Structure 1
Amino acid sequence: MSIDLITLNGPTMGTRWTLRLAPPAGLDLGALTDACAAAMARIEAQMSTWQPGSDLMRFNAAAVGEWQALPADLLVVLAAGLQIGRDSDGVFDIGVGALVRAWGFGPAQGRADPARIKALIGQRLATASALELDMAGGRARKLAAVDLDLSGIAKGFAADVLAGVAQGFGLTDVLAGLDGEVVARGHRPDGRPWAVALEEPLRGSRTVRGVIELTDRAVATSGDYRHFVQVGAGYLAHSMNPRLGGPAQNRLASVSVLAENCMTADAWATVLLVLGEDAGPALARARGIEAIFLVRDGAVLAEIVT
């Protein structure tokens, strides 16, 4: 007898969270939906740059040197962001908030600030040395002015949390996701791995390019085709290159990274996209990162798999 899959979903972080599962007898779907929605709302209230009252924005506005109490989840993401920043030699930097807004992304909603862009270009970010985290004490402080933005890691963390909520209800076989960040736990009801679609990197439409199968793995995709600004006849992706002081500029259309958890996959997908079609695959091979690169070559897409 076949068991039908269902999908629970709701809005969060400018997209939708989804949880796909075959509900066992006796599962309270209403309670599960409410728990998922509450967890996503909690993370958004902590990490959003769109909500002026979020914990992240409160910390951004705090005075240098003053300890600020922060929620445990936010501290975990800050610590992970700083570590991946060190591991990537600064290519991943959670201190790009000013750059993001100057170029018209996030709450700036397409309104770029040329004067601010000019002032920021060439400035070397030093976020790792500007933050001090006290994980045991549940607090953090800035040692220098810093403007944090977690858009390259927060959705991946949220997907991990979503899978964790399902586990709390005794569910071991689920597919949890937020847009391009997906966590696969266990198997489909027929025992096969979960099938996760990878999109064609097309602006303005959604088309499936291929499918990968996952069991107890996560995948995250960064690309130049969902969030971008148009400059003349060209497009600039939302992923910031701290070394340039602006958006990544290369021929990569998208990078999908597989990892044990989605937070890690999300951040490394950003790193590899920023590095480009040559340095990205080289670093992925050097670090043993499983990744799929789509490279624009005129109207053709070339694929590189590591």
Structure 2
Amino acid sequence: MSTDILVTLNGPTMGTRWSARLASRHASPDLTAALQNAVDLVDRQMSTWRADSDLMRLNRAVQGGWVDVGAELMEVLNVSAEVTAASDGAFDIGVGEAVSAWGFGAAQGQADETAIRAAMGRRLRAQVECRPGAGRARRLNDRRLDLSGVAKGFAVDQMAKVLRGRQIPDFLASLDGEIIAHGRRPDGRPWAVALEEPDPARRAARGVIEVTDCALATSGDYRHRIQLGAAWLSHTMDPRSGAPVRNRAASVTVLAADCARADAWATALMVLGETDGPALARAKGIEAIFLIREEVGFREEATLR
């Protein structure tokens, strides 16, 4: 057991903050800078808020036109295509037009009724071709790409890559609800991760799970949402309908080997909802914790091995 104390390194990114908890002997300004550079690289390539990001250049390119993109974006496009195929389109990065139409992302709450009518009823399936050897990608249809369901998870993977590359065996890296736990705390205990109560009015822990050597990501309908008339709408888009998800799943937490896939699968299972979500998770061997709204309170359903 180490006598080191736990310290937290952190910094700004993607409208929120990243953090890394680790033993004090490993902390240094150089490590903080390396972690910041890792998440900044993801933001530069994948942000929908930056007109100069690789993603937005790809979105602006003519259909079928090749665009030079970074290796990290190429990797995320491939992970996304994998989860899209495995979830039969419950997860898809082709939801960019719907995200903006309903007032999420860079639209900042400004819904566009004309754009909503254009997006609804369309299956928003992206078609993207990648040439990793050439460092190029292109869109094969007119779908606008949005990586909000996978990019933050990938950013945590990049943080973990930095930490492992420096031979740091024990850490907890996180960005919003995306987390990688590696090794153990300095006192020898597993890392404790709080599962959030699905309450839009406050942040509170519903429970705590202890984990080591795994990634976790949570998707929910209670934190990022907008009010349209009398209804509150989740930021998660259903690619099969072009509209925000409306089912009884309040949140889904997925445990996986890497955070990008955990993030994408949490989104897919959230879209599938309280019945189809657990069914597919069991069929695919995905470890997940669902919080499902009942008439009073929530029901928890887990597909943990």
**TM-score, structure 1 normalization:** 0.96
Q: Which amino acid is 2:108 matched to?
A: Q
Aligned twin of 2:12: 11
Distance in 2 between residues matched to 1:168 and 1:32, nearest whole Å: 11
Is 2:287 the partner of 1:293?
Answer: no
The CA deviation string for residues 84-142 of structure 1, in whole angstroms up to 9 with x for no partner, is 11111111110100000000000000000011101111112331xx3111012111112
Aligned twin of 2:46: 47
Q: Which moved more, 1:133-142 or 1:98-107?
A: 133-142
Q: For residue 24 of structure 2, give the secondary structure of its aligned residue in structure 1.
A: coil
Distance in 1 between residues matched to 2:44 and 2:247, nearest whole Å: 34
Is 2:188 the partner of 1:187?
Answer: no
Distance in 2 between residues matched to 1:277 and 1:37, nearest whole Å: 37
Q: For residue 76 of structure 2, give the secondary structure of its aligned residue in structure 1.
A: helix
Distance in 2 between residues matched to 1:59 and 1:270, nearest whole Å: 23
Is 2:214 the partner of 1:217?
Answer: yes
Distance in 2 between residues matched to 1:251 and 1:234, nearest whole Å: 15
**TM-score, structure 2 normalization:** 0.96
Cα deviation, residue 28, structure 1: 5.7
Distance in 1 between residues matched to 2:184 and 2:269, nearest whole Å: 29
Aligned twin of 2:30: 31
Q: Which amino acid is 1:149 matched to?
A: D
Q: For residue 226 of structure 1, give the secondary structure of its aligned residue in structure 2.
A: coil
Is 2:58 the partner of 1:59?
Answer: yes
Matching of residues 78-89 of structure 1 within 5 Å: 78-89=77-88
4+ long deviations beyond 4 Å = none
Cα deviation, residue 261, structure 1: 0.6
Is 2:162 the partner of 1:161?
Answer: no
Is 2:240 the partner of 1:243?
Answer: yes
Q: Which amino acid is 1:229 matched to?
A: I
Distance in 1 between residues matched to 2:139 and 2:240, nearest whole Å: 22
Q: Which amino acid is 1:178 matched to?
A: L
Distance in 1 between residues matched to 2:252 and 2:124, nearest whole Å: 24
Flag structure 2 segments of 5+ consecutive residues without an equivalent.
none
Aligned twin of 1:97: 96
Distance in 2 between residues matched to 1:259 and 1:289, nearest whole Å: 8
Flag structure 1 segments of 5+ consecutive residues without an equivalent.
none
Cα deviation, residue 204, structure 1: 2.9
Q: For residue 284 of structure 1, give the secondary structure of its aligned residue in structure 2.
A: helix
Distance in 2 between residues matched to 1:231 and 1:65, nearest whole Å: 36
Distance in 1 between residues matched to 2:298 and 2:290, nearest whole Å: 10
Corresponding residue pairs, total:
302
Aligned twin of 1:124: 123
Distance in 2 between residues matched to 1:251 and 1:231, nearest whole Å: 19
What is the aligned counterpart of 1:133 among 126, 130, 134? 130
Cα deviation, residue 143, structure 1: 2.0
**Are the aligned partners of 2:7 and 2:27 in contact in 1 as well (CA < 8 Å)?**
no
Distance in 2 between residues matched to 1:301 and 1:65, nearest whole Å: 46
Cα deviation, residue 236, structure 1: 1.3
Q: Which amino acid is 1:18 matched to?
A: S
